[in-house]
Structure 1
Amino acid sequence: MIKKLRIFLALFYVVVCSLVLVPLQILSMKTGLWPETFILKIWHRMILQALGMRVHVKGALAKDRPLLVAANHISWTDIMVLGSFVDVKFIARADMEGWPLIGMLSKLQRTVFIERERKRTSGDQASEIAKRMAKGDAMVLFAEGSTGDGNLVLPFKSTLFGAASMAISEGAADQVFIQPVAIAYTRLHGMPMGRRHRPMTAWIGDQDLMPHLKTLLAEGAIDAEVHFGAPVPFAKGSNRKETARLMEAKVREMMQAALADPRPSRQRVA
């Protein structure tokens, strides 16, 4: 009964806040009265509050531009975790565009939707991402191309780094900076998660969204960590496969460090 009440109150909180924030975000996008990410940060933090998630940060988003952020991917909540404190835009799979609530939020954040299986459209999508980076947007790429179970980092797909190559080949930039970022879900109700419990936070494959959302809302009190690595320059002649392997290794190292020694629940930022 308590869990059902928590789910109801959390969803009610999300709906009420969204009714206020969505019109403000639309106004921001049309008028430029304030940075577009200002309202979105509030929205993301509100979602995290409803879920009972605490975010701990090590390092910072690079100031170098153009910037492509190469991160691992565990759940749809990764977007809220990152978007709650940094000014970034996301690259997401195409089917997310039609999702209730999350699809709307993604559009309000000017997310670039990509169809990874359709090679005919990949060039246009990479070109759009390259243009956005050239304009100064820090674009987040979930480089595994899928979601992991929260315990391991999957191999990074080198083809997804095509936007960096295109930004250079089209003359939009002499070089692009690629920054590795690791996301890890580390604690549940203040206790370190083990391999058995971490998949609870993961949203894998074709898993339905609503059951996963209800599980997170019912549990609450989850700690997430975000670790930023040093950006690496990607210039003309740089090898995409080597860069993908380097980013994968750095993200894996940071993620395993977070899982092995999770921050205390009450510690917010370091």
Structure 2
Amino acid sequence: MDGEKTKEIESRMRAFKSDGFGSSAHEPVGNSNPQRRVHLHSTEVMVSVTDKNDNTPQFLRPNRTDHMVVVDPSTPMGAIIYTVTCLDPDTGLNGKISYEIMESNDDGLFSIQNHNGNIHLDRNLPEDVVNKAKLLSEKQIGSDERSRLSRDNLQDAYPSYNLKLRACDNGAPQSQCSEFPNLKIQVRVLTGDSLYLNEAKGLRGEHFWGRRSWHENVIITVSVVSFFVVLLFIGIFVFSRCRVHYSLRKRAALRQGE
């Protein structure tokens, strides 16, 4: 029985006590024997089941088919580029997960927040990495050369970093841990088309950070325009009310003058 499945058990307990005439509460009483008195008491008992730390954290993001993050060279220092997500069915501290980067080839470029799995860009990307990413971008690489690159070579051509992650619960007496060996962070100049590279080129499992896509820009533009339209209507309404109020005051002043 484990606390993650059964939190509480409710049961009823009964206690019997005889006055001492005979040894059994169910012994028949003859006419010549005094009547036996049996005392009965019952109570409800609630038993809380303690959770056992018997589950290891399971990586939801990243996973086997979704383990690449694409970062634009213009991404600012301090940005959250990815969020690692794990699931532990245990409850309480047994299910509370802490994250860390075990190994990487990024020279301290990225860090992960222990309590929520957010991966940050701790400083600006190196200049040589930025230049290489721009050189290989869609706008600067020729279509003929691009067509000669296979799908695998296309991914390998861009600057990349690999992070080995670990997630541990806070259970007792011993924590349970899981590892993810190869979260890949790739630096690539993003354009409107490159947001759909994962579908067009079969590069599945990519997450993009940096420039906004065209539909995000449309949403932002519509929101800003709507905001100013609402402000315009509010201004017109307030102006109309002020004019009416001014006219009424002017008429009242004329009547008093007469």
TM-score normalised over the length of structure 1: 0.22
TM-score normalised over the length of structure 2: 0.23
The structure whose residues are more often helix, as a share, is: 1
Larger-Rg structure: 2
The structure whose residues are more often strand, as a share, is: 2
